[in-house]
Amino acid sequence: MSAPVWPELVAAVVLAGLGLLLQSPRTLAGDPLAHLILAATAAALILHRLRERSPVRAGSPWSAVVLAVCGAVLAFLAPLAGGLRPALAYIALALVALSLIAAWRGGRMAANLAVPILVLYVLVPVLPLFEAALSYPLRRLSALLAAALLDIGPDAVTLHGTELSWGTLKVSVTSACSGLTLLQNLIWVAWWTVLLRHRGFVTRALHATLALPAVLAANTLRVVALAVMARWLGEESLVGPGHVVVGWAAVVLAVLLFLALEHLFPAVPAESDRPDTRSGGRSGSIGR
């Protein structure tokens, strides 16, 4: 017996709508469009996964209770957590939402929705905070790796914080060169990629984690390229279109690196090769 679709649709709209309400309009509509794409992807996944016809499953009262209790504990702790309060409050809300899903549609459905709900309710709202914390480490790592690469050449390279001294040239790896914008955009590219190319949470999570080294490698090469460009063409070349071209090339490189890393994981059989065991006979789902 199949469940009627409309209750799932209403629930999905409510869940996605609540998640979108949590977003800061300034963050979503502002410079980092990546945030908006991430939020929209999560909302679409919630809608997609809940609306799929599936046999009616009984709720999982115990998992619902455990999730609700965890949510309550985190929410009570949130006001005491200082700067982590928003993150804890958002996690608590996500857990309560998942507990409602577990109570209504069972623990399996809650597990299916866990990632998009956590992304929509927790990751996107706290991403600016996360990025602020990540900015300096990324700058420092990129500068360190770029210095090591440039040191292979004829002149010695010294590094002070995030400033490279290469002969008479000084290159500062500023916040704008930290690779954060690259990372913001690669997160949603990575998410879509792992959804479409892999099955199973562990494989998807492992591949998605490799977005970070891909960004780091691409950004390091970008810093090296800019330093070489400044050395050969003069420092004024850093404010010209060459800088933009190198930036775009780094984006392409990061994406290609990430896609190439897919080969570290076992191949996934094509949809047509696998028997479809779900009711309704649908296939091609990105929600499994």
Partner 1 sequence: MIASETREMSRPAFGLWPRVAIVVVALALALAPAAAWIVGTWGSSPLDAWGWLFFAAALGWGGLVLALGLADGHPEGLDPSGWPLLFGFVLLAGAGLMLDVRLAGALAGLGLGWAAAWLLLGGAAGVLLLPSLLVAALGLPTIGFLLDGAWRGLGLPAMPALVLKAGLALVLLLGGLMLVVLRRRGRLPLPGPLQSVYGVALVTAAAALTVAFNPPTFGPPLALAEDQWAFGRWYGAEIQAAPSEQRLFADSRRLSKRIYASRDGARVSVLVVESDDVHDLHTPEYCLSGSGWVIGKPESGAPVSPAGGEALPLTAAAVEITAARGEQRLAGVYWFSSASRSTPDLTGLRLQSRLAPEEPFALYLISAVVPAGASARTPLIAFLREAPWLAAPRGAVDDNG
Contact call for residue 85 and partner 1 (CB under 8 A): yes
Contact call for residue 145 and partner 1 (CB under 8 A): no
Contact call for residue 59 and partner 1 (CB under 8 A): yes
Strand partners, 266: none
Among 13, 44, 72, 169, indicate the residue that binds partner 1 (CB under 8 A).
72
CB-nearer residue toward partner 1: 78 or 210: 78
Name which of residues 104 to 123 contact partner 1 (CB under 8 A). 104
Contact call for residue 89 and partner 1 (CB under 8 A): yes
Report which residue type is found at 89: A
Residue with tokens 């800019």: 226
CB-nearer residue toward partner 1: 73 or 264: 73
- The whole-angstrom separation of Cα 27 and Cα 128 is 8
Among 12, 37, 96, 113, indicate the residue that binds partner 1 (CB under 8 A).
96
Among 1, 21, 58, 270, indicate the residue that binds partner 1 (CB under 8 A).
58
Instruction: Residue 139: count other Cβ atoms within 10 Å of its Cβ.
Output: 23
Contact call for residue 61 and partner 1 (CB under 8 A): yes
End-to-end CA distance of the chain: 21
Answer for the pair 42, 124: CB distance below 8 angstroms, yes or no: yes
Contact call for residue 62 and partner 1 (CB under 8 A): yes
Answer for the pair 19, 117: CB distance below 8 angstroms, yes or no: yes
Answer for the pair 149, 64: CB distance below 8 angstroms, yes or no: no
Contact call for residue 124 and partner 1 (CB under 8 A): no
CB-nearer residue toward partner 1: 74 or 164: 74
Q: What one-character-per-residue DSSP string does 220-288 give?
A: HHHHHHHHHHHHHH-GGGGGSHHHHHHHHHHHHHHHHHHHHGGGGSPPPPPGGGS---STT-----S--
C-beta of 78: minimal distance to partner 1 in Å? 4
Residues that bind partner 1 (CB under 8 A): 58-59, 61-62, 64-65, 68-69, 71-76, 78-79, 85, 88-89, 92-93, 95-96, 99-100, 103-104
